[in-house]
Amino acid sequence: MRKREREREREQREKERESRERERESRERERERAEREQRERKRERRERERERAEREKEREKEREQRERKRESRERERERERAKRQNIQETKRNRGRHREREKLRPK
């Protein structure tokens, strides 16, 4: 009788110990899974940030390129305007020179 009770108590303690062990292993697996997910989210966030920075850098490069083109067109327009103005000035000067020649006594 006593022996059977002791055996039953020992089996009960063994079952409880196994149950605690299973719970501990389950918690450990859950913790590892949560850590993996957190690392993955962090990696994905870094990747998105890197891609965003790349796109921003590309947009800035394109904006600077457009700005350089615009400035170049402005300089070209200014050169053309100055050239036309110079041609007109030369024509006026020639005309004045001819007028003076006509007025000069011979």
Reported as a single tens digit per residue, the pLDDT across 20-68 is 999 999 999 999 999 999 999 999 999 999 999 999 999 999 999 999 9
| Confidence band, pLDDT 50/70/90 cuts, at residue 97 | low
Mean confidence (pLDDT) of the chain: 92
Length of the chain: 106
Measured CA angle at 20 (ends 14, 22), to 5 deg: 100
Q: What is the pTM of this model?
A: 0.54
Q: Is the pLDDT of residue 104 over 70?
A: no
Which of the pair, 100 or 32, is modelled with greater confidence? 32
Helix (H) or strand (E) holding 9: helix 2-103
